[in-house]
Amino acid sequence: MPQPDAGFYVGLMSGTSVDSIDAVLVRFDPSNDGNPEIIAAEGYPIEDAMRKAILALCSPGPAELDRSGQLDRTLGEVFASAVTRLLESSGVKASQVTAIGSHGQTVRHRPPGTIATPFSLQIGDPNTIAAMTGITTVADFRRRDMALGGQGAPLVPAFHQAVFAAAEDRAVVNVGGMANITELSADGSVRGYDTGPGNVMLDYWIGLQQGLSYDADGAWGASGRVHPELMERLMADPYFSAPPPKSTGREAFNPAWLETGMSGLSVAAADVQATLCEVTATSIAQAVQAFSPGGEVLICGGGAHNADLLKRLRRRLPTWSVSTTDQYGIAADWVEAVAFAWLAKQTLAGLAGNCPGVTGASEETVLGGIFPAGRAR
């Protein structure tokens, strides 16, 4: 049943990179076709101890159930704190916010084709968020799509279609820990899928070699040279040639994957970084070229700040204009968080949030669970 809409929503996103919680306060203006207006946005760094605990849950280990349950509650408290701080800085009261859309933190993603019974698990307890903020919270967006045979990811293409569709072929590419593409055809159709690793391996390698959390501007990668044999080995991963619908995560692209590719090779550290950046650029470019011979590519996510990655993409996509979503009113850093605010709005209105042509689900469906903030009568 549609709910009254006060216009303000909060979107929360913590992605595969596990570096920060992105929080945005958004107003959807009916006089502007319901397009989002970002009122406030902030990234709240995830403390190192919590980041290590999250990453430890991304692989099988001892006492997983206890660790997951405790971290679920703790992370819910951190999400709630991020909302409270965002509202305080913006001057907007919790009572003015219709809902929070929280993606949660993915700790395991096993889509169809990777395991007998597919599932996806995000933590960051929405009950805790709703209780601490006093704001209705919408969460657990992926599993309804998976219940209908879908990948449960990517979920942002429906939002991309709503705000970025145009009269020309346009690809929206989010480069977070993983990278995904939304194909917005001039005829109005939409498709999309995860193209492979985005920043996840770049962040891992520079962290291992230099103790840094990311490669600023892609400068270290730009200083190296692509190693042909390592490049060939990494791009031979069957994921890159698998047909969509498809989605992926740290379960597939991780340190062990890189170590296997490097086995028996002697490669300078900067050359490994250059090669990893080329893998990200190549896998994205191949997806774009398979979509259409030319058009516009809009980059969002943390990868939008990697000048080396953008240079590699432009070199591989000479018939495409490559820029960021900033020029269309949504800063590249906040697109995904805004998308989950939008998905919360869709859910409360009883409207579909998935694209079956993207995820492979059998039908469109309302996504997520609603966790009311009000007291029982």
Residue 35 pLDDT:
86
Rounded to whole angstroms, the Cα distance separating 199 from 210 reads 16
For residue 116, give the DSSP letter. S
The amino acid occupying position 85 is R
- In the chain, DSSP finds a helix count (H) and a strand count (E) of 14, 12
Residue 147 and residue 250 in contact, taking contact as beta carbons nearer than 8 Å: no
Q: Is 16 annotated as a binding residue?
A: yes
Domain 157-332's class? alpha beta
Average pLDDT rounded to a whole number, residues 336-360: 97
Handedness of CA 335, 126, 47, 81 (dihedral sign): positive
Residue 243, pLDDT above cutoff 90: yes
Q: Looking at residue 4, what is its pLDDT? A: 42
CB-based contacts of 83: which residues, under 8 Å, 6+ apart? 10, 12, 23, 100, 129, 133, 135
DSSP track, 288-348: HHHH-SSEEEEEESGGGG-HHHHHHHHHH-TTEEEEEGGGGTS-GGGHHHHHHHHHHHHHH
The annotation status of 330 as a binding-site residue, yes or no, is no
Question: If you average pLDDT over residues 249-268, what whole number do you get?
Answer: 97
Percent of the chain with pLDDT over 70: 97
Residue 22 annotated as lining a ligand binding site: yes
Of residues 139 and 32, more confidently modeled: 139
21 is in an annotated binding site: yes
Model pLDDT, residue 100: 98
- In three-state secondary structure terms, 363 is coil
pLDDT band at 1 (very low <50, low <70, confident <90, very high): very low
Q: Is 20 annotated as a binding residue?
A: yes
Q: What is the pLDDT of residues 157-211, one digit of tens each?
A: 999 999 999 999 999 999 999 999 999 999 999 999 999 999 999 999 999 999 9
- Give the CATH class of 8-151+337-371: alpha beta
> Among 82-86, 270-274, 370-374, where is mean pLDDT lowest?
370-374
Could you report the per-residue pLDDT of 277-335, keeping only the tens digit for each?
A: 999 999 999 999 999 999 999 999 999 999 999 999 999 999 999 999 999 999 999 99
pLDDT at 19 over 60: yes
Residue 134 assigned ligand-binding role: no
Strand 295-300 to strand 170-175: parallel, antiparallel, or no bridges (unpaired)?
Answer: parallel
**Beta strands 178-184 and 190-197, pairing class:** antiparallel
List the domain boundaries for the chain.
8-151+337-371, 157-332
pLDDT of 17 above 50: yes
pLDDT level of residue 16 (50, 70, 90 thresholds): confident
- Name all contacts of 315-323 with Cβ < 8 Å and 24+ positions apart: 316/281, 316/282, 316/285, 317/285, 317/288, 317/289, 319/293, 319/294, 320/171, 320/288, 320/294, 320/295, 320/296, 321/295, 321/296, 321/297, 322/297, 323/296, 323/297, 323/298, 323/299
**Region 236-249 average pLDDT:** 97
Give residue 7's identity as a one-letter amino acid code. Answer: G
Q: Which two tokens stand for residue 144?
A: 């309804």
Cα-based angle 94, 48, 18 (whole degrees, multiple of 5):
65
Question: 129 labelled as ligand-binding?
Answer: no
E-state strands within 111-231: 119-123, 137-139, 170-175, 178-184, 190-197
- Whole-prediction pTM: 0.92
What is the mean pLDDT of the segment spanning 96-119? 96
Nearest to 129 by CA among 86, 96, 82, 88: 82
Q: Closest Cα partner for 75 from 142, 138, 21, 23?
A: 21
Mean pLDDT, residues 259-263: 98
Question: What CA–CA distance (Å, rounded) separates 241 from 231?
Answer: 15
Q: What is the pLDDT at residue 375?
A: 61
Q: Is 264 left (phi over 0), alpha (psi -120 to 50) or beta?
A: left
Do the annotations mark residue 19 as ligand-binding? Answer: yes
Supply the mean pLDDT for the chain: 95
Query: Residues 249-265: what's their mean pLDDT?
Result: 97
In this chain, the answer to whether the domains covering 8-151+337-371 and 157-332 adopt an identical fold is yes
Predicted pLDDT of residue 162: 94
pLDDT tens-digit map of 77-104 = 999 999 999 999 999 999 999 999 999 9
Tell me the sheet residues that pair with 184. 170, 190
In this prediction, residues 52-71 reach a mean pLDDT of 94
CB 280 within 8 A of CB 303: yes
